[in-house]
Amino acid sequence: MYKVTFKFENSEDVTAFAAEGENLLEVAKKANVAIDAPCNGNAACGKCKVKLVSGSLDSEKTRHITAEEYEQGWRLSCISLITSDVEVLVPDIASAYRSRMKVADLSSTEEVRIFEKAKSDIAEAGIEFKNDLEVIDVKMEAPSLDDTMPDNERLIWAVKAQCGVERVKITFAALKKLSDALRQSSFHLKCVVRRTEKKLEILDVMPKGAVPQVGGLAVDIGTTTVSALLVDMLTGAIIAKASSGNGQIRFGADVINRIIEQQKVGGRKKLQRAIVEETLNPLVDSLCRTSGFAHENIFRLCVAGNTTMNHLLFAVDADPVRMEPYIPTFYEVEGIYANDLAIDINPHARVIVAPNIGSYVGGDITAGTLASAIWNKEEMSLFIDLGTNGELVFGNSEFMMSCACSAGPAFEGGDISCGMRATDGAIEACTIDKETMQPTFKVVGDEGQKPAGICGSGIIDIISELFRCGIISPKGKFIREGERIRHDQYGMGSFVLAFKEDAASVKDIELTEVDIDNFIRAKGAIFSAIRVMLQSLDFDVTMIDHVYVAGGIGSGINMENAVSIGMFPDIEREKFTYIGNSSLAGAYAMLCSSEAEAKVADVAHNMTYLELSSEPTYMDEFVASCFLPHTDATLFPSLAMK
């Protein structure tokens, strides 16, 4: 056995043991060390680089590592075999996905504004923001030697008499608190209850003088990022927001690699633990700490995630999601409670899952569609969610159609050598001087924050600017020379945004031809999907009244640039609105409003699904879209005019 020590710039070492010849990335996974491995160890993405500090590794050279880098000790962990005791440095850029908790300061109302906006849009569409949780006051006679009714019957009788409900139940958690609460308050209680027409369930009991906390949790489980809102269920107010990376990321950046991973022995439990114990429970913890809420006072959970994320959360086999005929275990599901999932909130909290409508159009889209309110408009709207994949919904109050395209994770910084999410250090906007080729950029974070990588909106800007400045060709190849333009030993070009001296990174921040190619394919997938879906309905882009762009691409997205690279159709720019994390906004609405919950089910039932891969024109459209902006320039008349 050899000793393997993982070193980090900002945290403590992790030690593991491995046999001769074991794969370094696998050892890291077992030791819960998050090495970024979007391709799940296929030596395809080149992101799992680590730096050898001492000892030796049996590790080939690859195009992902320059001769100089190799000299410095950089190795791809997925093709490195252990041959001695070894110490490796896991760089911060590689561990960008490590669960970094971020709790929003809600005084910066921008964080909350977007959710309030969605809420008011939904309310305007006629959805009442009211749920079935409430607090009631119940007074009972104290027992005596002549009146020996036990506590639970006493409470149930009193509630039946007071509320006129036939069936009253007490949850097990409330039962445990009942005796103390009654005797602390002379048999006068406050109760948190869930009241439906015929039934009333007592979820919590407390002495009459206590101030009840009735919390709810809305969660967007993205493939890359998980975000959560803690909500006051009585007022609907957002109390705190937190987000972190999805702990499953070390098992692959995309859903396919995770589905493969969950099929291995013990895989489903491993993936479930990664999302529940390593991601959701820490998020709940931090939300509760920030807000002074007790875990057990969170009485409801609403989850919006794609079909695969939902299956992995439940530890239900996700393999059928990717295998023809693409039949998952469930689209909708009921009767799940927090203790089924070991989520650390009230064990009897009902889990609402935003319904999936297909293997590749999940609850994030149905919830997001709710938030966009396009289901209530006469005008024709296009809703685009740029998550780790791209999903589209087109329609109005009369009909809706959805489709999904495998755009890949490029919009969230995946498959991009210096890509990262739109968190601190991300270049989110950029302009380039046509003469000097000097870039000017905006970095997410506090003033003076050095760049650490590039997020989706930044990549759009950079590609748009490189193209505008004639630095790259319509195919994305470098056609000018300069100090910022490099070619490696394989001839691959790249553009340096920031040299490492000026960056929060161990290496220069650059965008390579491979990155540009990946991104062009991603934007091509989106654009061609829009075209094919509209064609299938006999529509064309001019008939689109409004476009709602959602997702983790970053609020800095520049619509002009997005059109200029051919990602979005060339229609009036004021028709585009960025609506942020619509999946979370939808989950928030479903959590707070029983009508919203019902509406999403309704939306899901009435939305048709277009399987793009069965559309004969899709592949041609896709190939034609893998150009800047497009092989058919007539599709972008406004660009031609410039």
CB of 352 vs a second copy, minimal distance in Å: 14
**Closest listed residue to residue 98, CA positions, set 27, 37, 22:** 37
Structure tokens at 385: 């969610």
Alpha-helical (H) ranges within 276-361 are: 281-291, 307-314, 319-322, 338-341
CB of 335 vs a second copy, minimal distance in Å: 6
Nearer to a second copy, 611 or 620 (CB): 611
CB of 637 vs a second copy, minimal distance in Å: 38
Nearer to a second copy, 44 or 210 (CB): 210
- CA dist 344 and 342 (Å) reads 6
Nearer to a second copy, 364 or 428 (CB): 364
Nearer to a second copy, 239 or 357 (CB): 357
Nearer to a second copy, 61 or 167 (CB): 167
Structure tokens at 416: 């991009």
Nearer to a second copy, 180 or 483 (CB): 180
- 147 DSSP β-pair partners: 144
**Closest listed residue to residue 611, CA positions, set 544, 543, 539, 536:** 536
Q: Is 508:499 a contact under the CB 8 Å cutoff? A: yes
CB of 604 vs a second copy, minimal distance in Å: 12
**Closest listed residue to residue 557, CA positions, set 434, 435, 430, 445:** 430
Structure tokens at 156: 């149930």
Q: Is 549:557 a contact under the CB 8 Å cutoff? A: yes
Structure tokens at 163: 């509320």
Taking each helix axis as running N to C, give the angle between helix 513-536 and helix 618-625, from 0 to 180 degrees, rounded to the nearest 10. Answer: 140
Using CB atoms within 10 Å of the CB of residue 435, give its burial: 0 to 12 exposed, 13 to 18 middle, 19+ buried: exposed
Residue-wise DSSP of 342-379:
T-SS-TT-EEEEPPP-SSSS-HHHHHHHHHHTGGG-SS
Nearer to a second copy, 13 or 197 (CB): 197
Nearer to a second copy, 17 or 337 (CB): 337
CB of 173 vs a second copy, minimal distance in Å: 8
Nearer to a second copy, 87 or 332 (CB): 332
CB of 120 vs a second copy, minimal distance in Å: 34
Sign of CA dihedral 495, 499, 504, 505: positive
Q: Is 171:201 a contact under the CB 8 Å cutoff? A: yes
The Cα-based distances of 24 to 14, 51, 92, 565 in angstroms read: 13, 12, 18, 39
CB of 599 vs a second copy, minimal distance in Å: 20
Residue-wise DSSP of 17-59:
EE-TT-BHHHHHHHTT-----TTSSSSSS---EEEEEES-EEE
Nearer to a second copy, 563 or 612 (CB): 612
CB of 290 vs a second copy, minimal distance in Å: 27
CB of 388 vs a second copy, minimal distance in Å: 22
CB of 251 vs a second copy, minimal distance in Å: 19
Residues of this chain that bind a second copy (CB under 8 A):
143-145, 147-153, 169-172, 175-176, 178-180, 183, 268, 314-317, 319-320, 324-336, 339-340, 347, 356, 358, 611, 614
CB of 374 vs a second copy, minimal distance in Å: 24
Q: Is 303:353 a contact under the CB 8 Å cutoff? A: yes
CB of 165 vs a second copy, minimal distance in Å: 15
Structure tokens at 220: 């967007």
Nearer to a second copy, 179 or 235 (CB): 179
Nearer to a second copy, 33 or 168 (CB): 168
3-state secondary structure 394-462: EECCCCEEEEEECCCHHHHCCCCCCECCCCCCEEEEEEECCCCCCEEEEECCCCCCCCCEECHHHHHHH
Count of CB atoms within 10 A of residue 572's CB?
A: 10
Structure tokens at 567: 């990602």
